[in-house]
Amino acid sequence: MAADPSRSAADAGAAAEAGDDRLLEVENLQTVFHTERETIRAVDGVSFGIAEGETLGLVGESGSGKSVTARSIMGLVDSPGELLPDSSIRFDGRELTGLSEKQYERVRGGGVAMVFQDPLSTLNPVYTVGNQIEEALSLHRGLSGMDATEKAIELLEDVGIPDAARRVSEYPHEFSGGMRQRAVIAMALACDPDLLICDEPTTALDVTIQAQILELLAELQEEHGLAILFITHDMGVIAEVCDRVAVMYAGEVVEQAPVVELFENPRHPYTRGLLRSIPSTQRGAERLETIEGEVPTPNAPATDCRFAPRCPEAFDACREVHPEAVPVATEGVDDHTAACLLYPEDEPREQAVDRHAGEAAQPHVGADDAGGDSR
Ligand SMILES: Nc1ncnc2c1ncn2[C@@H]1O[C@H](COP(=O)(O)OP(=O)(O)OP(=O)(O)O)[C@@H](O)[C@H]1O
Ligand code: NI
């Protein structure tokens, strides 16, 4: 597909759908939490896809909605949270939204597994590591007795735990942090998943162990053909593990691109800010740049660019028009989009703004909105 920046966002969507080999397809995901005072729009219209065997990185500052996105896919949003009706999550061609808890359990035990930041939140302290893996094997593969134990040992070996035959009967507290996370990964593999969701799996670990776990994930991915959704706020980790990247800000995906393209040609001012804040050994002692300000917690549908208050390139329209994802590809790259009024770059600014505002050119500001709370 040629990269033609004059195409509309809708065309780009249709093109993406044409290559319909996506294992996971998230479309217009909206996950809200009802509190007494307000409705928090934690995930607000997020769309992305992951192909078989692919790693998609989901990156953004704290509070941008990464974990809620992951939990939504896993069917783990409980009240006061809910997915709004337009949301769609298709896995292996099957719509997951609206499944019963029982049906979802089967999805979690089969196709999709998740690894969290803190292995102790997954492991039960009163059972041996082996018991817990065997439990998963019994539930999801119908193995029991010696078969389950043997398989559990094999899985522990697969994830690089030395002396697995002995360690299978140890308790989680007898494992180091890195070994615990390996055990959790073994538990996830017990379900023989096609998609592994990793939510900051290495954030709590020291740098050496972190590198080992990332390496392990890459090996397992190759062996098992796993697709991975990798959540982190660390652009350095993104560079190491991902094929494609989606950048989240305040509940929205603001930029999406293949990883090399994103690093070489970041288009959204927020992505540029994140990239400037990567610690680099070359820059050593230099002060790390951070983006000033905080991620807002959205409580109403967006009528503006949520990043505008922190954006060095914001202009008047950014406070009045909600940006849509538009193609921003460079030559030879056809799946790079950014939701920013600066684009398409080759259009006169007014025309670009109109495009984001929609053909109907609704009055985004003025009398109608005077009473509304747009933030
Ligand atoms: N159970 C809940 N009730 C109310 N609000 C929630 C709930 N869970 C999450 N939120 C809100 O949703 C927003 C997104 O949270 P989320 O945990 O997805 O962020 P994140 O990008 O994963 O951040 P971090 O990098 O800190 O993990 C936050 O404003 C958070 O306060
Ligand atoms: Ni999180």
Helical H runs in the chain?
9-18, 66-73, 101-109, 119-122, 129-141, 145-158, 164-167, 177-190, 207-224, 235-241, 259-264, 269-276, 349-357
Q: Are 153 and 271 contained in the same domain?
A: no
What pLDDT, on the 0 to 100 scale, is given for residue 277?
A: 81
What pLDDT, on the 0 to 100 scale, is given for residue 363?
A: 46
Distance 66 CA to ligand 1 centre (A): 8
Q: Are 209 and 162 contained in the same domain?
A: no
The amino acid sitting at 201 is: P
More confident residue, 230 or 109: 230
Residue 337, pLDDT > 70, answer: yes
Q: Which ligand is nearest to the CA of 36?
A: 1
- Whole-angstrom distance, CA of residue 233 vs CA of residue 256: 15
Q: Are 315 and 177 contained in the same domain?
A: no
- Whole-angstrom distance, CA of residue 243 vs CA of residue 260: 8
Q: Is 363 exposed, middle or buried (0-12, 13-18, 19+ CB in 10 A)?
A: exposed
Residue 32, pLDDT > 60, answer: yes
The reply to whether 4 falls in a domain is yes
- Whole-angstrom distance, CA of residue 31 vs CA of residue 174: 38
φ/ψ of 51, rounded to 5, equals -85, 165
The tokens for 188 are 């996830």
φ/ψ of 173, rounded to 5, equals -70, -15
Contact (Cβ atoms closer than 8 angstroms) between residue 359 and residue 324: no
What pLDDT, on the 0 to 100 scale, is given for residue 139?
A: 86
Q: Are 187 and 199 contained in the same domain?
A: no
The amino acid sitting at 67 is: S
Q: Are 97 and 235 contained in the same domain?
A: yes
- Ligand 1 pocket residue status of 32, Cβ below 6 Å: no
Contact (Cβ atoms closer than 8 angstroms) between residue 180 and residue 172: yes
Q: Is 35 helix (H, G, I), strand (E, B) or coil?
A: coil
Give tens-digit pLDDT for 349-363: 999 999 999 854 444
Q: Are 269 and 248 contained in the same domain?
A: yes
- Whole-angstrom distance, CA of residue 352 vs CA of residue 350: 5
Residue 197, pLDDT > 70, answer: yes
The tokens for 31 are 């996950």
Q: Are 233 and 264 contained in the same domain?
A: yes
Task: Write the DSSP symbol of residue 163.
Answer: T
What pLDDT, on the 0 to 100 scale, is given for residue 187?
A: 94
- The domain that holds 256 is classified in CATH as 3.40.50.300
The reply to whether 34 falls in a domain is no
Residue 9, pLDDT > 50, answer: no
The reply to whether 62 falls in a domain is yes
The reply to whether 183 falls in a domain is yes
Give tens-digit pLDDT for 117-156: 888 888 999 999 999 999 999 988 899 999 999 999 999 9
Q: Which of 30, 31, 35, 40 to mutate to test the pocket of ligand 1 (most atoms within 8 A of CB)?
A: 40
User: Looking at ligand 1, which residue's alpha carbon is closest to its atom 8?
Assistant: 68
- Of 177, 192, 207, which marks where a domain is finished? 192
The reply to whether 63 falls in a domain is yes
Distance 64 CA to ligand 2 centre (A): 8
Residue 196, pLDDT > 50, answer: yes
Residue for token pair 């991620």: 295
Percentage of residues in the chain with pLDDT exceeding 90?
75
Give tens-digit pLDDT for 51-94: 999 999 999 999 999 999 999 999 999 889 999 999 999 999 99
The reply to whether 371 falls in a domain is no
What pLDDT, on the 0 to 100 scale, is given for residue 120?
A: 86
φ/ψ of 199, rounded to 5, equals -100, 100
- Whole-angstrom distance, CA of residue 56 vs CA of residue 51: 9
Does the interface ipTM go beyond 0.90?
Answer: yes
Half-sphere exposure of 71 (CA within 13 A, CB side): 18
φ/ψ of 2, rounded to 5, equals -75, 145
- Whole-angstrom distance, CA of residue 257 vs CA of residue 252: 15
- Whole-angstrom distance, CA of residue 224 vs CA of residue 364: 49
Alpha-carbon 168 to chain mean position: 32
The reply to whether 131 falls in a domain is yes
The reply to whether 39 falls in a domain is no
pTM score: 0.88
- pLDDT band of residue 198 (cuts 50, 70, 90) is very high
Q: Which range has the worst mean pLDDT, 197-206, 282-291, 327-336?
A: 282-291
Report the number of distinct structural domains present in the chain. Answer: 2
What pLDDT, on the 0 to 100 scale, is given for residue 69?
A: 98
Residue 365, pLDDT > 50, answer: no
Q: Is 166 exposed, middle or buried (0-12, 13-18, 19+ CB in 10 A)?
A: exposed
Query: Residue 162 — left, alpha, or beta (φ > 0 → left; ψ -120 to 50 → alpha)?
Result: beta
User: Looking at ligand 1, which residue's alpha carbon is closest to its atom 30?
Assistant: 63
Q: Which ligand is nearest to the CA of 43?
A: 1
Contact (Cβ atoms closer than 8 angstroms) between residue 92 and residue 22: no
Q: Are 201 and 342 contained in the same domain?
A: yes
Q: Are 8 and 62 contained in the same domain?
A: yes
Q: Are 264 and 336 contained in the same domain?
A: yes
Give tens-digit pLDDT for 255-266: 999 999 999 999
Give tens-digit pLDDT for 278-328: 765 545 545 556 788 889 999 999 999 999 999 999 999 999 999 999 999
Distance 42 CA to ligand 1 centre (A): 6
- Whole-angstrom distance, CA of residue 266 vs CA of residue 128: 46
* Mean pLDDT score, 194-204: 93
φ/ψ of 257, rounded to 5, equals -165, 160
Q: Are 182 and 328 contained in the same domain?
A: no
Domain assignment of residue 249, given as a range: 1-22+52-79+90-103+193-281+304-359
Helix 177-190 vs helix 207-224: angle between axes, to the nearest 10 degrees? 20
Q: Is 310 exposed, middle or buried (0-12, 13-18, 19+ CB in 10 A)?
A: middle
Q: Are 74 and 116 contained in the same domain?
A: no
